[in-house]
Amino acid sequence: MKYILSLVLLCSFSFSRAQQSVKLEDIASHVGDSVTVTGKVYGMKYFESAKAAPTLINIGAAYPNQLLTVVIYGEDRKRLELDPEKTFADADLSVTGKVELFKGKPQIVVTNKSQLSVLPAKKD
């Protein structure tokens, strides 16, 4: 009986840690949470010669007013086997991951292709 109770508690804990969908404008209040958020890409920059060679994707507004920065480090960018500048330019992007703060701004670090999804273009 103890074994079954322990298993049930363990399962309920893992489900409580699952990603939650949040609105982009509310992202700053979810630091530390694992979330899924959707927003329009307003620009990006690949710092190829910088340490860790990050690609920064601005969601919600252009830099420095972005609501969220998606970060893809150089090693992860190679593994993703895609060109973010072509794939994500002016797209609506869904991102899943843990929200962190960098210099007071929310960011999600992407390490896996499954964390990103380009949404179909909206019909006018």
Query: What domains are there in the chain, each with its CATH number?
Result: 19-112 (2.40.50.140)
Ranges of the chain whose pLDDT falls below 50: 2-17
Measured from the Cβ of residue 23, the count of other Cβ atoms closer than 10 Å reads: 13
- 60 sits in the region (left: phi over 0; alpha: psi -120 to 50; else beta) called left
Tell me whether the omega of the peptide bond preceding residue 64 falls within 30 degrees of 0, making it cis. Answer: yes
Helix count (H) and strand count (E) of the chain? 3, 7
pLDDT at residue 16, as a whole number? 42
Q: Residue 73 is encoded by which pair of tokens? A: 């480090």
Using the 8-state DSSP alphabet, how is residue 61 labeled? Answer: S
Return the amino acid letter for 74: G
3-state class (DSSP) for residue 46: strand
Residue 109 CA to chain centroid, in angstroms? 6
How does pLDDT run across 47-63, given as a tens digit for each residue?
A: 999 999 999 999 999 99
Please give the pLDDT value at position 122: 73
pTM for the whole structure: 0.83
pLDDT at residue 123 in the model = 67
